[in-house]
Amino acid sequence: MNTKRWVALVAAAVLIAFSMGLNAMMAIFKTNFLHSFDTVLPMSGDIVINESVLEHGDGNKRIALLTVNGTIQDLGSGNAWTQVEYDHQLFMNQLEIILVDESIQAVVLAVNSPGGGVIESAAIHKKLLEIKEQRQIPIYVSMGTMAASGGYYIAAPSDKIFALKETITGSIGVIMQGINYSELAEKLGVKFETIKSGPHKDMFGGSRETSEEELAMLQEMIDEMYEEFVDIVEAGRGMSEADVKKVADGRILGGTQALKAGLVDEIGTLDDTIASIRADFDLEEAELFEYAKPEDSLAALFGMKVGSMFGPSLEERFLTRILTTHNAPRAMYLYGDF
């Protein structure tokens, strides 16, 4: 093992010890003096989620500010060397906490996302419905630059939706895309040798033309997911199927257009959304907090620094991603490029 790897190993050991010590100190010495720092919340499975107070107030009546930023996909939680834009499991854990934390009296969900996976979007939607039904607390949504497709899907069950005039939203629908590279392979002299258990095992895989029968199969699947999306909007917005389908053809809308179509309730900022939920539910004195991202902690920042010094190079990380990512076509609630 070369010197660089020995140094990296020692640095990793120091990082682990530092992280454990920091979390222990935060748990033991949580006082009023430390209240402005992160509050450490232990979760099942050794998961730790931090809280950061944004506006001090009544700790028995709190407003949780949640954020979905980026493509809604379960890409894991990253590590000391790499970070993910949206951490699906971390976000789902935050929703689980809200289910059991009775001090939380309202939720503001800030959405800045083009959408993402059908499964991940549905999981968030289901958990938000659980919170509404079990906790009986309001959920308001503030749309940022974009809240399209799956970004709108997760916003639909909320009690009130705010958007900016400049927000790109809508894109209600489902998409599945693949690349047919069979002609290119033929020109390059590449031949595919496939052994399969049935005629459709390699359908939509890119190595051959998709048959009309197979296209019909896929279309039926997409249509079913689309109708589910329409039902979600109907239920969440109290709209008729006909009214939803007027704008549920995949089109995108600006904030003002979405307001006219009934997809959002008001034009306003995140601050407007927070002020509205305070006024509507007598929460003017409530504490406002958010769950801090793991990279906001000192231990994570130290880990990122160590990672930049001793971790894999950019080229190594790129090759690892190529070799470990399975790019099979999948149905998406997504606006924009895959």
Q: b/e for 305-324, b at 16 or more Cβ within 10 A?
A: ebbeebbeeeeeeeeeeeee
Quote the CA–CA distance of 182 and 326 in Å, as a whole number. Answer: 19
The residue with tokens 């329409």 is: 230
Tell me phi and psi for residue 334, to 5 degrees: -145, 135
Helix H or strand E encompassing 318: helix 314-324
Quote the CA–CA distance of 102 and 100 in Å, as a whole number. Answer: 6
- Per the residue annotation, which of 201, 246, 260, 305 is the catalytic one? 201
Write down the H helix ranges in 175-280.
182-187, 212-237, 241-245, 255-261, 270-280
Q: Indicate the burial class of 159 (C-beta count within 10 angstroms; 0-12, 13-18, 19 or more).
A: middle
201 counts as catalytic: yes
- Per the residue annotation, which of 121, 142, 149, 276 is the catalytic one? 149
The residue with tokens 């130290």 is: 302
Nearest to 161 by CA among 176, 115, 153, 34: 153
Quote the CA–CA distance of 199 and 230 in Å, as a whole number. Answer: 33
Quote the CA–CA distance of 58 and 285 in Å, as a whole number. Answer: 6
Which amino acid is located at 148 in the chain?
A
Q: Which two tokens stand for residue 336?
A: 């924009």
Q: Are 133 and 90 in contact (CB under 8 A)?
A: no
197 counts as catalytic: no
Please list the active-site residues. 149, 201
